[in-house]
Amino acid sequence: MAFSDDYFDEESPVEKLRDILCNIDGKQKLARRFRALYSLKAVVERNANDPKKAKEVIDYISECFNHSNSELLKHEVAYVLGQTKNLMSAPVLRERLCDEKEYCMVRHEAAEALGALGDQGSLEVLTKYFKDPKEVEPVRQTCELAIERIKWAHSEERKHEKLQKSLYSSIDPAPPMPLDADGAESVEKLKNLLNDQKAPLFQRYRAIFRLRDIESDEACKALGSSFNDPSALLKHEVAYVFGQIGNPIAVPYLTEVVNRDNEAPMVRHEAAEALGSIASKNVVPVLKEHLNDRDVVVKESAIVALDMYDYENSNEMEYAEIIN
């Protein structure tokens, strides 16, 4: 989910934030647990030069895996651990990926997070699941992307690529297409690459993030053209990117996707959250329709998305619970 930098309150005591995240008292609403999670992420980042403190907070975040049955929240925990830029997050992420009884979305996000960390020590386990013909497609494809991202992150090629300075703070599953690459300035060529099912998935993702960085209405329409792709993973990423861009032109695309009867829950959930991030008035009825959705992960995403909508349209300085 695309959260703004002021979504959280990084000054709250970390132990209280852990207790909220893990719902120790059994009374915490899902949206407040999300806020606590992003507050703890900020604490990890703030203590990047204090390994002991950073590890303590990473452990607090990781405790949520054992204190939640929410696929959505556990998936978000895995995402946040990947965004910490801290390799001390890698062992617990590998554990989640290797737990074949874990929710598919959580395992997928754990694999993606290992790629975001650029953790070369995880290449063996990522390769194992990528090459396993019995592995579910979203996990297998995510492992493929993570392998390619880790290799790219440690390559000589990366040092020579001319990348646009991103407006976004997220560490993405693939870098955007380099500015000097053929077609990098052409929305039409990027659209063609995005929709080329024979192209390597990593390159298609690079087209996604280049289109995101272009940000124009044309670029958004090009992104929306991929919502009939057979890959649930790719469609879920496009929905996520729409939430980052925040352009209301994406609302009809996302509404159609979240309302689909036969769409994968991971795609529908991401579409719901993106609607909350865009926060135009016409998203509210759509999200309310899904508060009792058949898929729990979509229902919970609608709850969080409406909370984000309320924040984006309020006078609040921070989207956070202030803890005394």
Mean pLDDT of the chain: 93
- 270 annotated as a binding-site residue: yes
- 108 annotated as a binding-site residue: yes
Tally of domains within the chain: 1
Predicted local distance difference test score (pLDDT) of residue 9: 53
Q: Which residue has the tokens 């090009």?
A: 222
Domain holding 116: CATH number? 1.25.10
Q: Domain residues for 30?
A: 12-159
In a domain, 201, yes or no: no
| pLDDT at residue 15 is higher than 70 | yes
- 290 annotated as a binding-site residue: no
| pLDDT at residue 321 is higher than 80 | no
In a domain, 239, yes or no: no
What is the rounded CA–CA span in Å between residue 101 and residue 235?
24
8 Å CB contact between 300 and 31: no
Mark 170-181 as b/e (b = at least 16 C-beta within 10 Å). bbbbbbbbbeeb
8 Å CB contact between 236 and 265: no
- The closest of 310, 244, 237, 226 to 269, measured between CA atoms, is 237
What is the rounded CA–CA span in Å between residue 41 and residue 157?
30
- 236 annotated as a binding-site residue: yes
What is the length of the chain?
A: 324
| pLDDT at residue 7 is higher than 70 | no
In a domain, 56, yes or no: yes
- For residue 185, what are its two tokens? 């300035």
In a domain, 234, yes or no: no
- 76 annotated as a binding-site residue: yes
| pLDDT at residue 322 is higher than 50 | no
Q: Which residue has the tokens 């646009």?
A: 164
In a domain, 221, yes or no: no
In a domain, 248, yes or no: no
pLDDT tens for each residue of 145-169: 999 999 999 999 999 999 998 889 9
- For residue 270, what are its two tokens? 């991401």
Q: Which amino acid is at 102?
A: E
| pLDDT at residue 74 is higher than 90 | yes
What is the rounded CA–CA span in Å between residue 175 and residue 210?
8
Q: Can you tell me the mean pLDDT for 45-69?
A: 95
pLDDT tens for each residue of 260-318: 999 999 999 999 999 999 999 999 999 999 999 999 999 999 999 999 898 788 766 55
- 75 annotated as a binding-site residue: yes
In a domain, 76, yes or no: yes
What does DSSP assign to residue 313?
T
